[in-house]
Chains A and B, each alone.
Chain A
Amino acid sequence: MTSAAGGYGKDDAEAATRLIGYAFRPRLLPHRDAEYAALVRRFDEEPAFEDLVRQSATGLGLQVLGVTMRAGSVIVPVPGSVFETRLEGYARQVRQSHHREAERVLHGIAHLAIAALCFPRPQDLVDDSYVGAVTAAVVDKHVRHMCRELAKRSAEAHENSDTPVEAPELERAWRAYARRSEAGETTSGQVAPTTTEAIVGKALRYLVDKGLLSESENLELASKVYRTTGRYQLQVRELAAVEAYRELLLLGIVPPADSAGSLRVISDDGTLH
C-alpha cells in the first residue's frame, strides 16, 4: 500500500477514486463485479486505503457512509455539493407558482412515508438483514390514515385548521396531502400527475433508478412490489433520518421519544452520542 517513502503507491489514487466512482453506479453490486469486490475488500482491510478514499471523497464534496459487500460503496454528497439533488430540482415540472411549496412538500412526504413503511419499526432499520417491502397503494393509504388521525386530533382540540385566505402557505402539510386526489385519470387514460398516487409512484420509480429499491411484479397483488436494498437502509439510517430529525429540532419541534423508538442525535463532527 504505502511506498518506502511513506506516501501512497502510484496506483492507489486511481483505485480509491474508482471505488468512489462505483458509488455513482448504485445498481452495480460488489458480488457481481470482481474488481469492485476487490476494492471493497481492500477498503475493509487496509486502513491507509480507507483514509485515502475518505479524503478523496471529502475533496469532491462527498461523504463515505459505508463500504460493504452488501450495500456496495455508499458515498453520498455533503450539503451544498454539486452531486446533491434537492426537492426543488426533483419536483421541477410543477407549474403553478402559488402551489409550488405545497407540491414540494407532497413529494417530500412521499419519500419520507416510503422510508417509514419500508422500516416500520426501529428494529427493522437497525437489522442489517431486514428487507422491507412496500407497494404504492400501501404508502398512500398509510399517509392518508395518518392525515385522518391528525384531522381527528385537530378537531378534538377545537383548532381551526382552515387556512387564512391571504396566507395559504400556513396550511398544515397533512391538510395539503389529504385534500389532494388519490387517484384519477386524464382524458387520455393516463394517471393524472397531480394525484398522490402519481407522486408516490414517481418517488418509488426514482428510488429504483437510484438503485435504492428493487422492483418486482407481484401477481397476487396485481401491482409492483418495491423492496429495500442495503444501500437505502444505510442512507436512511445513517444520514437522512438523523439530519431530518435535527432539522425538526431546529424548527423547535421535539418529536416524541416513545418506548418503541429512542432517538439519537449526531453532532457535526460525526460522533455518536
Chain B
Amino acid sequence: MNFEHATPAGSAGADEGLLQDEGLIRRAKALACTAPLHDLDANKGMLEWADVKVYQMAEIALHTIDQVAIAMDFDTGASRGHVLGRVKRFVARQAPERSDEEHARVAGWVLDSLINVGDVERAFRRSYGTVDADGVYRVRWFPFKLLVERRDSAGVLYLHASHEALNVLVGALDTDVESAQEATEVKLANLIRRGRLTDAKQVAEQARIRSIQYGELIHAQLEATRRNILSVDWMEEFPALLGEALEHVQGRVRAERAIATNMAKARDEAVNPVRKRHAAELVDIVEDCIRRHIRLQQRLLEARGVFRAEQDRQQFSLKPQRATFDLFGQLLRPSLELAVTDAVRAVDCFFSRSTGSSAQDLPFLATLVPALLRPAPEPSRFAGQVEEPEVELLEEATRFTAEQWEMAERLLHLPGEVRALSSLLEEAAGLDADLPALVALLGVHSFSPDAGAAQRRGEGHVRLAMRADATLDSAGFAGDDLWLTTARLQAPSDSSDRAGRSQDEGAGH
C-alpha cells in the first residue's frame, strides 16, 4: 500500500554487501526525474522564435506540474487550456514587458516538453547502473513520465501528473505515504501555533498533494474489485485496508476541520492584510482537502456494496458446463508478463487465429503492367470550358427603391408649411412614375400618427394629415384630399392629440 512501483527497488539480491545499492538506485532515479527540468533551462537557448533567456524554465515547469496536480481528482484532471491559462500568468510575472503571445508560447513549450511530445512513447529515459546478482555492473534504462494526457469519459483530453512527478514535486522520494502525512499534519499544527502562515500554506499544499496520491491508489483498488473480484483479497487484505483507510480519512477530516476552524479564526482576527490573505488561502486549501476526503470516504463506504454486487454477478451464477479458457488469467496475464521477444509469438498466434481469413488483393499481371506503364495524365493548364450559368432574375422583393423612399421623405418633409396631398402627388408624378403611390401611402399613414411611439424613439418630428374639404383626383388617386404638414414634438402631452384622435377616414388609394 505504498507507491513503490513508481520507484521500483533495485535488484540487490541476497548479497548483503549490495544492499547499499538500493539507496543509490533510488537516488539515481530521483535525480533522473529532475533532469527534464534542468534540460529545459539548458536547451532554452536553442529556441529560435524568441529570446527566452529571461524565463526560468525549471520554475515554470514546477508551476505547471503544481497546476496539474492540484486539479487532479479521482476521475479527471486539468484540461490543457486551463493549465496553460494559469501558467501563462506565472510566465507573465517573469517578463511582464514581453508580449502576451510569447508568454502563452513559453507556457505551451514547457508543457509539451514535460509531456515530451517529441518522443514516440512520450516518456523520458535515463540510464543508471546496477550490480546484478552475478556481480556484473550493468547499465539499465529507467523510463519515466512527468505529465501524461488521458481521455475522460466524455472523450476530452486532460492532463495527469505521474507518480514520479508527484514525488519530485513533493520532494519526498523515499517515504511512506502514511507517515509522511502524519508528519505533515504535525508540522502544520506547529507552524500555525507559531504563526508562520507562509510556511503553513506550503505544508497544506503538500498535504493536499498527498491526499490526491492516496485517493488515486484507493480508487485503483476499487476499480480492480469491480473488474475482477478474484484479483483482490476480500478475505483479509482488502477489508483490513478499507478499515484502515476509512479510519485514516476520518482522522484527517477531523484534523482538517479543526485546522480550518482555527485558521478561519486567525483569518478573521488578523490585522496585517498579507497575513490575512495567507490565512484565507490556507482555509481554502484545507477546505478543499476536506472535500476530497469526504469523497474518498464515500467511495470507501460504497466499497462493500460493490463487492456484494460483483460477487452476485461473478460468483453465484452458473458454473460452466464445458471446460474452457479463462482468457484473462490464462492468456492475457501470462503474455503481459513475458519479455517482448517471447510475448510476440503468443500474441501473434492469437491475433492470426482470432481474426480469421483475409482475402488479399492480388494484382493480375495483364492489367497491372499496362496500368503501371500508362503515362501519367498531363495536368492541363485550363480546366475546360466554363459553362454559361443560367441566371434567373429574382423578383424585386421591395415595392419601392431606396431612392424613391428618399424622394418621398423629402417631399413630405414640411416643417412650418401645409400642403395638400393633391399638389404633392402631382409633384411626385413629375419626379417618378411610381412615386405618387408611395407618397399617397405615406400620407394616409400619417393620418393617425403614433406620436407617443415617435417620442419614445426620440424623433423630433411627426408627420400629420388632416382632412381637407375637397376631393382628390390626381395622379390616378381619388378620394378626400388631405392637408399634410410636419409637426415638431415638444412635450409628451401636446401635438399628438389633434390628429391622433381623428375619426375621419383617409382618402386616396
Contact = CB atoms under 8 A, between A and B. Distances in A.
B151 A194 contact: no
A264 B324 CA distance: 6
Nearest to B228: A120
Contact of B11 (A86, A158, A247): A158
Nearest to A165: B139
Interface string A135-152: 001000111011111111
B350 to A, nearest CB: 4
A179 B164 CA distance: 13
Interface in A190-224: 194, 197, 206-207, 210, 212, 221-223
**Tier of interface size on chain A:** 35 or more
Contacts of B120: 96, 99, 194
B157 interface: yes
B72 to A, nearest CB: 15
Given A170-B341, A247-B346, A264-B323, A160 B352 contact: no
Contact of A155 (B4, B115, B331): B4
A5 interface: no
B145 A179 contact: yes
A212 B356 contact: yes
Contact of B326 (A99, A109, A121): A121
Contact of A184 (B8, B149, B227, B317): B149
B438 interface: no
B12 interface: yes
A163 to B, nearest CB: 5
B143 A263 contact: no
Interface in B343-387: 343-360
A192 B227 CA distance: 28
A215 to B, nearest CB: 16
A77 B325 contact: no
A123 B325 contact: no
Contact of A119 (B153, B224, B327, B360): B327
B231 interface: yes
Contact of B5 (A102, A148, A163): A148
Given A126-B322, A154-B8, A241-B327, A251 B227 contact: no
- The main secondary structure of chain B at its interface with chain A is mixed
B354 to A, nearest CB: 4
Interface stretch (B122-130, B249-257, B389-397, B482-490): B122-130
B325 A253 contact: no
Interface stretch (A7-15, A32-40, A47-55, A230-238): A230-238
B334 interface: yes
A122 B321 CA distance: 10
Given A111-B350, A121-B314, A183-B149, A77 B356 contact: yes
Contacts of A107: 347, 351
Nearest to B341: A169
B122 A181 contact: yes
B49 interface: no
A267 interface: no
Contacts of B132: 160
Contact of B340 (A105, A206, A248): A105
A111 B354 contact: yes
Contacts of A137: 151, 153
A154 B4 CA distance: 10
A1 interface: no
A67 interface: no
B348 A240 contact: no
A211 to B, nearest CB: 9
A183 B314 CA distance: 31
A242 B353 CA distance: 9
Interface in B218-233: 220, 223-224, 227-228, 230-231
A248 B325 CA distance: 13
Contact of A109 (B4, B321, B347): B347
Nearest to A137: B151
Interface in A244-273: 244-245, 247-248, 251, 253, 255-258, 260-264
A263 B352 CA distance: 21
Given A85-B358, A149-B231, A173 B325 contact: no
Contacts of A164: 138-141
B336 interface: yes
Contacts of B351: 85-87, 90, 107-108, 111-112
27 contacts: A23-B356, A101-B344, A108-B335, A108-B343, A120-B227, A120-B228, A122-B324, A123-B318, A123-B320, A141-B223, A150-B336, A152-B4, A154-B5, A154-B8, A160-B140, A170-B341, A173-B337, A173-B338, A181-B148, A184-B122, A194-B121, A222-B153, A232-B354, A244-B350, A247-B345, A251-B346, A261-B325
Interface of B: 4-5, 8-12, 115, 117, 120-123, 127-128, 130, 132, 138-143, 145, 148-151, 153-155, 157, 220, 223-224, 227-228, 230-231, 314, 317-360
